[in-house]
Amino acid sequence: MKEFDTFTVWLLMNLVMLQSSLSSGDSSVVNPCCHYPCQNAGVCVRFGPDGYKCDCTRTGFYGENCTNPEFWTRVRLMLKPDPALVHYILTHFQWFWDLVNNSFLQDTVMRLVLTVRSDLIPSPPTYNTKYGYLSWESYYNLSYYTRLLPPVPEDCPLPMGTKGKPVLPDVKTLTEKFFRRQKFRPDPQGTNLMFAFMAQHFTHQFFKTNHKVQQGFTKALGHGVDAGHIYGDNLERQHQLRLHKDGHLKYQLVDGEMYPPTVAEVPVHMVYPKGFPMEQRLAIGQEVYGILPGLTMYATIWLREHNRVCDVLKAEHPTWDDEQLFQTSRLIIIGEIINIIIQEYVQHLSGYLLKLKFDPSLLFGVRFQYSNRIALEFCQLYHWHPLMPDSFHIDGEEIPYSQFFYNTSILTHYGVEKLVDAFSRQPAGQIGGGHNSHEVVLKVAEMVIRESRGARMQPFNEYRKRFKLKPYTSFYEFTDDVEMARALEELYGDIDALEFYPGMILEKTRPNSIFGESMVEIGAPFSLKGLLGNPICSPEYWKPSTFGGDAGFSIVKTSTLKKLVCLNTRWCPYVDFHVPRNEEEREPRKPSTEL
């Protein structure tokens, strides 16, 4: 028996060694593209088991890995300032920017900002989650988010390529350890909840991830600013929401004021909890906007604005039918949205002293494509839930999350004016730096990280390189929180294995800024390309006749957040994306219609 056991062990050992020797030729070969060898936007193409070639076409670089700059590239790199220096210049020297903002130089600088940012986003789109190479499917199939970098190859030895640990950190551990709020940290730029709710209301017209499919799919039919969150994302929903008279949308009157109709009146699909009172179920273009009063508030404002614009157009064009009034008003609303987002929302977010300007004609003389596809990377980075406070302060009352979620009665109880005033005065949280997400939104961060893993997104550093930023060399360079750096290093093993979303949110913030360098340098190109790539910004559309004449065109070009609110309310509250800056703004606003 003893001899048999010895023989058996000897035989098994030899069989294992034989199997190992037979398969060693395959197991030792690593897909070379897993090393991300191609730099400067070069494309890695695999040849044979262990061969590859970098396609450096039109990158401005050459060589085996696209690392050698061509002559003019070398000159440009020598003259190009560091992103941190550019940001410093744009946020300092008030006297200089006052001069620029009041001269022809504003157009020149604004055109430069738009082209430099937008050129970083490829058009037509490139990859999707299914195909890590260019394909017709990636271009044509709108049910996918597009993506700038292809997925991590499926045959890589490690989850993030060839660096890091064999198993990615537990998602709950990540969010609890690095995302969970320890103490509310207000944004040093003065961002308020009016901004926070605009961010959510605005972006969810094109961020509609299909969470049932973990492969980067979107439920949105449009890939940009189409106002689908106001009018519905399909024709059937749009027709249900319309009054079919004078171009108007349906509404209900509460104490003589216009609000979205109820689902009983307009039977569109809306997401409400089971047992939620039917009379409080509001029918809105976006099916999830009943979740937060800040979203129903914006839905109400835009509903009123649409119907107001219809009345302006009807006075100008008494012969127009319902359809033309509706369609032209929608174009005006889209123009207003883009104008407010660029000139106030992005202006505030950037902290720039350069006065941003929405003028599509600035790009008419340069190469620019008027189309847009929403990228998975853009959807991922825009989860800014650290903005949310610990509770909500409205008209002297403190409202916890338990009474805030799915409570549409807050809107009709306080009215639009008091909500706008309250949200404009309450500080929002700082997005970057970690440790600032309220516990109720931690599940969202978990979901985002899981989705990024399902889509096999490349490491954070690879995206920094794609946007011409220097990759971080260590976690201690990535964050100025030594304890966080040490813990991240223990979990990930290598800075080149850090995932995209944790990298965007946990990165050290710029001085006195809402978030870090990567969020600005990666997020801004997506934003500006999506806004200026809208059809209404094209030479064919950007003219008075598109908007019903000079009156409609003027509504677009002169729109502001304050006008949007105060032309649609009984009295004008304090309204801004910034908390009150001075004593006058801090004083409670008395009923007034002054603009």
**What digits encode the pLDDT tens for the residues 141-173?**
999 999 999 999 999 999 999 999 999 999 999
pLDDT of 190: 98
State the residue for tokens 């639009």.
416
- Euclidean distance between CA atoms 14 and 562, whole angstroms: 80
pLDDT > 50? residue 30: yes
Half-sphere exposure of 124 toward its Cβ, with a 13 Å CA cutoff?
11
- Euclidean distance between CA atoms 235 and 99, whole angstroms: 48
pLDDT > 50? residue 313: yes
Q: DSSP secondary-structure letter at 472?
A: P
Tokens at 240, concatenated: 């249900």
Short-list 464, 586, 574, 578, CA closest to 514: 578
Cα 562 versus chain centre, distance: 23
| Tens-digit pLDDT profile for residues 542-564 | 999 999 999 999 999 999 999 99
pLDDT > 80? residue 323: yes
Sequence-distant contacts of 447-450: CB under 8 A, at least 24 apart: 447/211, 448/380, 448/383, 448/501, 449/171, 449/174, 449/175, 449/499, 449/501, 449/502, 450/171, 450/214
Residue 217: strand, helix, or coil = strand
Rounded to the nearest integer, the mean pLDDT of the chain is: 93
Which of residues 40 and 24 earns the better pLDDT score?
Answer: 40
- Euclidean distance between CA atoms 340 and 351, whole angstroms: 16
- Predicted confidence band of residue 292 (pLDDT cuts 50, 70, 90): very high
Question: Which three-class secondary structure string do you get for 157-199?
Answer: CECCECCCCCCCCCHHHHHHHHHECCCCCECCCCEEHHHHHHH
Q: Indicate which residue of 231, 382, 492, 574 is catalytic.
A: 382
Backbone angles phi and psi of 429, in degrees to 5: -80, 160
- Euclidean distance between CA atoms 222 and 205, whole angstroms: 8
- Euclidean distance between CA atoms 544 and 422, whole angstroms: 37
Sequence-distant contacts of 118-122: CB under 8 A, at least 24 apart: 118/368, 118/525, 118/528, 118/529, 118/532, 118/533, 119/525, 120/467, 120/468, 120/525, 121/148, 121/375, 121/525, 121/526, 121/529, 122/148
List, in order, residues 6 or more apart from 98 with CB less than 8 Å away. none
Half-sphere exposure of 23 toward its Cβ, with a 13 Å CA cutoff?
7
| Tens-digit pLDDT profile for residues 483-524 | 999 999 999 999 999 999 999 999 999 999 999 999 999 999
Q: Are 432 and 519 in contact (CB under 8 A)?
A: yes
pLDDT of 8: 42
Sequence-distant contacts of 88-92: CB under 8 A, at least 24 apart: 90/350, 90/351, 90/352, 90/353, 90/354, 91/351, 91/352, 91/353, 92/353
pLDDT of 214: 67
Residue 354: strand, helix, or coil = coil
pLDDT > 70? residue 11: no
pLDDT of 362: 96
pLDDT > 60? residue 10: no
Cα 485 versus chain centre, distance: 26
- Euclidean distance between CA atoms 144 and 128, whole angstroms: 6
Q: Indicate which residue of 36, 144, 201, 204 is catalytic.
A: 204
The angle at the Cα of 382, spanning 378 to 385, to the nearest 5 degrees, equals 160
pLDDT of 19: 40
Q: Are 54 and 46 in contact (CB under 8 A)?
A: no
* DSSP assignment of 270-311: ----TT--GGG-B--SSTTTTS-HHHHHHHHHHHHHHHHHHH
Tokens at 214, concatenated: 């973990």
Tokens at 538, concatenated: 């094209």
pLDDT of 572: 97
List, in order, residues 6 or more apart from 301 with CB less than 8 Å away. 416, 564, 565, 568
pLDDT > 90? residue 411: yes
Burial class (CB in 10 A: 0-12, 13-18, 19+), 583: exposed
| Tens-digit pLDDT profile for residues 446-462 | 999 999 999 999 999 99
pLDDT of 583: 72
Annotated catalytic residue 382: yes
pLDDT of 7: 39
State the residue for tokens 């901004």.
195
pLDDT of 4: 39
**How many CB atoms within 10 Å of residue 240?**
17
pLDDT > 60? residue 15: no
pLDDT of 5: 46
Question: Which three-class secondary structure string do you get for 366-388?
Answer: CCCCCCCCCEHHHHHHCCCHHHC
pLDDT of 420: 98
Q: DSSP secondary-structure letter at 336?
A: H
Residue 60 CA: distances (Å) to CA of 447, 464, 547? 38, 18, 42
Residue 163 identity: K
State the residue for tokens 């999506």.
530
List, in order, residues 6 or more apart from 49 with CB less than 8 Å away. 26, 29
State the residue for tokens 């060399």.
473
Annotated catalytic residue 211: no
Tokens at 242, concatenated: 């319309």
Query: How many residues are present in the chain?
Result: 595
Q: What share of the chain has pLDDT > 90, as a percent?
A: 89
